[in-house]
Amino acid sequence: MQLTVNISGENETPTIVNERVPNKEELSRILRKATSRAKVSISLMAFSGLSAESLGNYEGTDRLRLGDIKELHISDDITFDKIPAMVVVKQKLSKVRHQYFTFIGREGATYIKEYLDERKKNGEELTYDSPLLQFDSRCIRKNDFLRTTLVTRDIRQAIELAGLKMRPYVLRAYFSTALDIAESKGLISHHGSSLSWILRTISQPIFA
């Protein structure tokens, strides 16, 4: 199946144009320093091209739900029926104001499973309507759901602990750069990209 790859809002933040994109080793350092929740956010931005706003909007009124990850199966165990798993971003969370989809590969799926297992262990009853990113149990809630500012704060803390100076939004540029590299090597074409193949290999040596 051939799919056209479009990253919504890819060029909508002009202040990051001249910022350096992390390389594979630096991204690994960031992930090692991240909390389990931040690992999910980082992987979806860097490996799937999602925006922080799609994970939790600015007002804290909407969020990505577990049911938006189509191959995620919730039972006694958290499993994925297939990897890469499709992630659907609904219109309300899309910066371009229409629904779109992307995929999450094995590494990102592992972080999601570990994070959800942790929440279940802490007593949360997960449903397909549950938010992908949840408040910490110690947090005082001021909104219904996690806001964009809290999503980016998690990521910023991991970046700083990794000894790097860059903004969370450059993680989406990592995904865009990965697609550019794949296209330059003739692995995909601009007009007909095999997105599922890209997401299977998104954290492999091609992007080192």
pLDDT, mean over the chain: 81
Domain annotation covers residue 6: no
**Residue 177 maps to a domain:** yes
DSSP code for 80:
E
CA distance 73 to 79: 5
**Is residue 10 in a domain?**
no
Q: Convert the pLDDT of each residue in 123-167 to its tens digit.
A: 999 999 999 999 876 655 556 688 899 999 999 999 999 999 999
In the predicted model, what is the mean pLDDT of residues 36-59?
92
Read off the pTM: 0.80
Please give the pLDDT value at position 189. 54
pLDDT of 205: 36
Question: What domain count does the chain have?
Answer: 1
| The pLDDT value given to residue 17 | 56
Closest CA to 161 of 17, 31, 1: 31
Is residue 9 in a domain? Answer: no
pLDDT digits (tens, 9 = 90+) for 172-198: 999 888 877 776 776 665 544 445 445
- Sort 142 into a burial class: Cβ within 10 Å, 0-12 / 13-18 / 19+: exposed
Higher per-residue confidence, 19 vs 105: 105
* 43 φ, ψ (degrees, to nearest 5): -65, -35
Look at residue 12 and tell me if it is in a domain.
no
What CATH number is attached to the domain comprising 100?
Answer: 1.10.443.10
Query: Are β-strands 85-89 and 100-104 bridged in parallel, bridged antiparallel, or unpaired?
Result: antiparallel
**Is residue 79 in a domain?**
yes
Give the domain extent around 94. 19-133+141-200
Instruction: Report d(CA 76, CA 71) in Å as an integer.
Output: 16
Residue 13 is assigned to a structural domain of this protein: no
Report yes or no on 14 lying in a domain: no
Tell me how far apart the alpha carbons of residues 152 and 198 are, in angstroms, rounded to a whole number.
25
